[in-house]
Chains A and B, each alone.
Chain A
Amino acid sequence: MIGAFEVLIGFVIMLGMMAAGIHVAVAIFSVAALGTLMYLGTPLLYSFGDTLWGTLNDFILTAIPLFILLGELLLRSGITERMYSALSVWLNRMPGGLLHTNIGASSVFAAMSGSSVATAATIGTVALPAFAERGYSERLALGTLAAGATLGILIPPSINMIIYGAITNTSIGKLFIAGILPGLALAGAFMLAIIAFSLLRPEVAGEREPRVPLRARLASLVDLLPPAFVFAIVIGSIYSGWATPTEAAALGVVAALLLAAINRKLTLTMLHECFLSMARTTAMIMLIIVAAFFLNYIVGILGIPHTLTQWVADLGLSPLGLILALVIFYLVLGCFLETLSMMIATVPIVVPMVVQFGFDPVWFGIFLVIMMEISLITPPIGMNLYVVQGVRGRGSISDVMIGSLPFLAIMLAFVALIIIWPGLVLWLPEAMG
């Protein structure tokens, strides 16, 4: 019904509109509308009202504002600094010292808040002054901040996975669980790289940190309890099957509310600030999602996944060749699209095709999230690079880019690893049953 060439033209029009600064949601909707008018006629276009209601009135997507609210409450409950200190006394003694704390704190914090901007802003503000004082390689310190903050979308809860799951009809609970091992493995690989660097070139790692007595270290664990508590409630309730992801988000909100109250940070002003942030971010995401759901619907009716699958098969690509092509596709796309838009705009077209080639949708979701993380620190436009540079407030952005390169390389190697060994992703969710 529709050829691969027409699909390509549609995709290019969409990208062109985005590049011209048209709102991403409008660009996505416009190509969907264009395709509808050209091939299907106005009645289907008019059915948009029902798509709109069906998408917005969806309990699964209700998880999005709730997880955002959870993150906002935690961000404003004053646990960041103490968490950073607590992590630092535990991780300091490894070669590379405070650099490990950056990775650890950024990934925990990004996982909780779901926002790499908020993570880089808060952790960066706490961490950067200390690095200058102690003679660390500034580039590497900046790189750990930029890279650490990307891990948040892989470690659950992750808004990106909710969106992926909702568009592709994949179990969000399984996606969450599947993200845990790769998230930990990546954080571990970052830390190993820091150790290796510090051993090979001791000058990057600054002064050795003083040893902290065991008692003080144990006492500092108290400050790690709040994030651990919320994480355990959210992930535990999903893993055990007690709650759906949306319900788990609600449990997390109530837990975060309690924590804020215990820390005496819970005021009406604070609560309203959380609400406003939640409303803003949710509306921003949902406007793109309603457009993407319509595109998804139209793409399905037009049989585009089938067309593309046929086309790829005719090219003689093997499944492996397809995935490698997609790695390049997302690397290039990530150079000029904002990551969330990149995912939402491509998932309706790419995922059905990939699934027909025999890939597991949960595995592909994790693959995609890692590709998004990579694009967050890929020059020239990786968002995290600019945010970290903004926190630093002086010097050149190229320091941040150079400092992030080793982590970029590790992430690419990790993508190769999960392609070779999908079990790393799929073992936990399959054990969940």
Chain B
Amino acid sequence: MLPRNPYWLARSLAHGAAVAAGYAALGLSLLITFEVIARKLFNFSLQGVDEIGGYVLAIGVSFSFAYALLHRAHTRVDVLMARLPAVLQAPLNAAAMLMLAAFSLFMLWRAIETLHETLEFGSLASTPLQTPLWIPQSLWVIGLGVFALLTSLLALHALAQLVTGRVRALNRDYGPRSAQDELDEAQQDYGDSVSTTATPATQGDAT
């Protein structure tokens, strides 16, 4: 969606963070599976798995926001927009990016404030682990910071495109995804696992 060069760093960082979130989810699944089996069969509990699960979600998601943004995955409604002429779509696309940037900055600001209070009161999680909350919250704030930084950069980029009248580039880079885009991506993603062997036709012939 973007000119490669200025954003390759952001892209690869976001990509890396998303993969890391995946490993965290996988690790969490193994941990939970162990916990459920141990609890059921040996009456023994690890304690605090649910707490860790919450942190995995909070931190993983805050870092994944940026990755989703780079793939234009954040939901928008394109019913009306798709019917407008390109000249009208452009300012709407720029406005959407600016408002998203404002929202992400507001999230970051309030999250920093929450972290600030945690540090001030030295809050601990009210759980068996008694985790000092600043540890997961700091990572969470950093993730939101990356998201805010990226949305701001992209919003400025969109604004620049609007001001200089590069309407088509703006709509290409920041337009909402259509059902066709979703489908293309799904086919690209899952195409390998379909395609090869038995279609129902060959199945029927073989038997």
Closest residue of chain B to A68, judged by CB? B25
Chain A positions 268 through 285: 1 when the CB is less than 8 Å from some CB of chain B, otherwise 0: 000111111111111110
A85 touches B198 (CB 8 A): yes
Closest residue of chain A to B77, judged by CB? A18
Chain B positions 86 through 117: 1 when the CB is less than 8 Å from some CB of chain A, otherwise 0: 00010011011001100100110111111000
B9 to chain A, nearest CB (A): 18
A346 to chain B, nearest CB (A): 14
Is B28 among interface residues, defined by CB-CB distance under 8 A? yes
Which of B55, B79, B179 has the most chain A CB atoms inside 10 A of its CB?
A: B179
Flag the segment in A42-50, A315-323, A351-359 that touches B: A42-50
Contacts of B74 in A (CB 8 A): 23-25, 283-284, 287
The residue from B26, B80, B180 contacting A69, defined by CB atoms under 8 A apart: B26
B50 to chain A, nearest CB (A): 4
Contacts of B40 in A (CB 8 A): 242
Flag the segment in A118-126, A175-183, A184-192, A302-310 that touches B: A118-126
Flag the segment in A154-162, A334-342, A402-410, A423-431 that touches B: A334-342
The residue from B35, B77, B136 contacting A24, defined by CB atoms under 8 A apart: B77
CA distance A62 to B176 in the complex (A): 27
A75 touches B111 (CB 8 A): no
Chain B positions 19 through 45: 1 when the CB is less than 8 Å from some CB of chain A, otherwise 0: 101110110111111011000100000
Is B164 among interface residues, defined by CB-CB distance under 8 A? no
The residue from B73, B103, B197 contacting A280, defined by CB atoms under 8 A apart: B73
B12 to chain A, nearest CB (A): 12
Is A1 among interface residues, defined by CB-CB distance under 8 A? no
Contacts of A298 in B (CB 8 A): none
B111 touches A49 (CB 8 A): yes
Closest residue of chain A to B22, judged by CB? A275
Chain A positions 41 through 69: 1 when the CB is less than 8 Å from some CB of chain B, otherwise 0: 00000101110110011110110111001
Is A78 among interface residues, defined by CB-CB distance under 8 A? yes
Flag the segment in A3-11, A209-217, A365-373 that touches B: A209-217
Q: Is the interface of B mostly helix, strand, loop or mixed?
A: helix
CA distance A52 to B195 in the complex (A): 43
B63 to chain A, nearest CB (A): 8
Is A84 among interface residues, defined by CB-CB distance under 8 A? yes
A117 touches B182 (CB 8 A): yes
CA distance A48 to B29 in the complex (A): 30
Closest residue of chain A to B201, judged by CB? A130
CA distance A80 to B199 in the complex (A): 11
CA distance A336 to B76 in the complex (A): 11
List, sorted by A's number, 29 A–B pairs whose CB atoms are closer than 8 Å.
A21-B80, A21-B176, A22-B96, A23-B96, A29-B103, A48-B106, A48-B110, A53-B58, A62-B57, A65-B21, A80-B190, A80-B193, A98-B200, A118-B186, A125-B194, A126-B200, A209-B204, A210-B204, A250-B30, A254-B29, A275-B19, A279-B19, A283-B64, A284-B68, A288-B75, A336-B79, A341-B75, A386-B183, A390-B179
B residues neighboring A (CB under 8 Å)? 15, 17-19, 21-23, 25-26, 28-33, 35-36, 40, 50-51, 53-58, 60-62, 64-65, 67-68, 71, 73-81, 89, 92-93, 95-96, 99-100, 103, 106-107, 109-114, 136-137, 140, 176, 178-180, 182-184, 186-187, 189-201, 203-204, 207
